[in-house]
Structure 1
Amino acid sequence: MINDMARIMNDLQVVTSTLSPEVDMQKLEVRLEEIMSNYEIHRKSEKDIENDIQDKIELYLSARKVEGLAKETIRGYTGELNRFAKFINKPVVQITTSDIRKYLASNENNMASTVDRKLSAIKTFFSWLVTEELLLRDPSTKIKPPKKPKRLPKGLSVEELEVVRESCISRRERAMMEVMYSTGCRLSEVQRMKIDDINMQEMNMRVIGKGDKERIVYISFKCLHHVKGYLNIRKDDCEQLFVTERRPIRAMTNRAIERSVDQIEQRTKLSKKLTPHTFRHTFGTLAMENGADLADVQQLMGHEDPSTTLVYAHVSENRKKQAHKKYHMQ
């Protein structure tokens, strides 16, 4: 087929190269008929077209790896796109907007945030295909993201934070909890932390956030005290800040950190769910409650979009009351 197309294009080039500026379309049509009579052309059936969706996904993921996309993001895209490919099971060129909508609606139990994440991965994939000229049109363009319910982040109150502190029974638990709260870091950022990233004198820490972007976060005196206490009992030479307690000593995984927080939660008996992200929410909420500037909180938390930080800008009834007394003109 490729050789036939090459011959057709070659013959057509020979014809068009001999044309004068004033083309006689009738003669051109006759000549094209003469050329095309040497070929038998038929439209491929759906079965004849190669199902290339998995190959295109692998090509896309390889390109994103080269671009330096974070491993966690690559892993997320891989899972989402593989599930999409299994559901659709047809060549990329044949995928329609309706196909994508059917996939997104295939599980009624999916929350809006889950559907939004799936759509985001699909949109990024098709956008890349069009940009790379591997596809002429993007079937996901017309699909709008679902409306997500606006929920306030569930952070801990000052009193609840103290309960959590008192529920930590090991130096590792306490140091980990203080680092997550003091820095407001994401789980993946905490998992990547290394001892050498800590500047004891400046009381700050270098972290690698989303998209492998580096930023500086700060730690409190209390946090520094417990981190030093944890490091003093360590007898290993592992460079990671938080490591396993059993040998071979190695960096804790994301899941291991989550399990450690789960164990703390079981002892607190709080009504709120305790996760690594709860401490991040607590950091953002309490910072805003104490009058921190929105732009400062955005930088500290590593948010690219200011609107992401706005979820922490809600204020308590007491703060609203005080603001009214302070700023209302009588």
Structure 2
Amino acid sequence: MQQLINDILYDMSEVLSAKELYALQIVLQKKLNTQNNQTYPYTNIEYMDMFISAKRIEGCSERTLAYYKATIEHMLSIIVIPLRQVQTDDLRAYLAEYQLRNNCSKTTVDNIRRNLSSFFSWLEAEDYIIKSPIRRIHKIRTGSKVKETLSEECIEKLRDSCLQIRDLAMIDLLYSTGIRVGELVNLNINDINFEERECIVYGKGINNVRFI
């Protein structure tokens, strides 16, 4: 019977708001005398913790998990209603207020939107909510900023300031390959092929990087 209710709610999700869907669910449960009277088996924080656990199993780094958690916790501290009742307008207002209060860039706000979208999409996929309320909030357009490159003079100053050959090797490797600092830190001797002047980098995917 509960599956039938879920099917009805899903079919009506395109024409009803989150609050209207919640009201419809209560009516259906009462009229059909379902045994599942506990509409929200978990608290908002418990839903967040389950999401973080799912992302950890998927292989997200602890830094990424901490960013997810901080983003969701802050949202839950402002929007203090059950997740199933959260509507698109609630999230739009939250993102607008966040940008205004913190005077942050569009890129930062879009990162928050993306994290929340991942959270609500997971809730929808796990059947904890009928439809993600953030689905209608599209990617925020941000201007592309070209980063300035280091001049030859700056590179030489960096090299001259190195007190150990290890530091010099790190500077040269960063400059010649363009790898990230985090990728360099995780690099092991076994990942480097000195004869072919290549190394295997574990970052966002696995890549072969050739020395210049």
Q: What pairs up with 1:253-268 in 2 under 5 angstroms?
A: none
Return the match for 2:65 from 68, 74, 79.
Answer: 74
Aligned-pair CA distance for 1:168: 2.6
Deviations 1:170-212 (A, max 9, x none): 32322221121122112221221112211111111111112xx
Return the match for 1:214 from 188, 206, 209.
Answer: 206
Deviations 1:110-169 (A, max 9, x none): 111110110000011111211222211111011122221221122213333223222333
Aligned-pair CA distance for 1:49: 6.1
Q: For 1:105, what is the secondary structure of its paired residue? A: helix
Structure 1 residue 65 and structure 2 residue 53: aligned?
no
User: Amino acid of the residue matched to residue 96 of structure 1?
Assistant: Q
Q: Kindly, what percent of the aligned residue pairs are identical?
A: 30
Whether the aligned pair in 2 keeps the contact of 1:116 and 1:146 (CA below 8 Å) is yes
User: Amino acid of the residue matched to residue 133 of structure 1?
Assistant: D
Return the match for 1:105 from 76, 81, 96.
Answer: 96
Q: What pairs up with 1:1-330 in 2 under 5 angstroms?
A: 52-107=43-98, 108=100, 109-210=103-204, 213-220=205-212
Please give the alpha-carbon distance, in whole angstroms, between the structure 1 residues aligned to 2:182 and 2:67. Answer: 13
Q: For 1:138, what is the secondary structure of its paired residue? A: coil
Q: Which runs of 5+ in 2 are unaligned?
A: 6-30
Please give the alpha-carbon distance, in whole angstroms, between the structure 2 residues aligned to 1:50 and 1:89. Answer: 17
Please give the alpha-carbon distance, in whole angstroms, between the structure 2 residues aligned to 1:53 and 1:194. Answer: 41
Deviations 1:34-92 (A, max 9, x none): xx69x7xxx99xxx967722111111111122222333322321222222222222211
User: Amino acid of the residue matched to residue 43 of structure 2?
Assistant: D
Deviations 1:224-283 (A, max 9, x none): xxxxxxxxxxxxxxxxxxxxxxxxxxxxxxxxxxxxxxxxxxxxxxxxxxxxxxxxxxxx
| Equivalent residue pairs, number | 179
The match for 1:268 is none
User: Amino acid of the residue matched to residue 81 of structure 2?
Assistant: K
Deviations 1:6-27 (A, max 9, x none): 8xx9xxxxxxxxxxxxxxxxxx
RMSD of Structure 2 on Structure 1 (CA): 2.8
Greater Cα shift, 126-135 or 164-173: 164-173
TM-score of the aligned structures, taking structure 2 as reference length: 0.73
Structure having the higher Rg: 1
Please give the alpha-carbon distance, in whole angstroms, between the structure 1 residues aligned to 2:175 and 2:139. Answer: 32
Q: For 2:97, what is the secondary structure of its paired residue? A: coil
Q: For 2:208, what is the secondary structure of its paired residue? A: strand
Whether the aligned pair in 2 keeps the contact of 1:197 and 1:205 (CA below 8 Å) is yes
Aligned-pair CA distance for 1:93: 0.3
User: Amino acid of the residue matched to residue 53 of structure 2?
Assistant: S
TM-score of the aligned structures, taking structure 1 as reference length: 0.49
Please give the alpha-carbon distance, in whole angstroms, between the structure 1 residues aligned to 2:67 and 2:148. Answer: 24
Q: For 1:216, what is the secondary structure of its paired residue? A: strand
The match for 2:24 is none
Greater Cα shift, 134-143 or 184-193: 184-193
Whether the aligned pair in 2 keeps the contact of 1:51 and 1:89 (CA below 8 Å) is no
Please give the alpha-carbon distance, in whole angstroms, between the structure 2 residues aligned to 1:102 and 1:50. Answer: 27
CA 1:135/1:49 → structure 2, altered by over 3 Å: closer, same or farther? closer
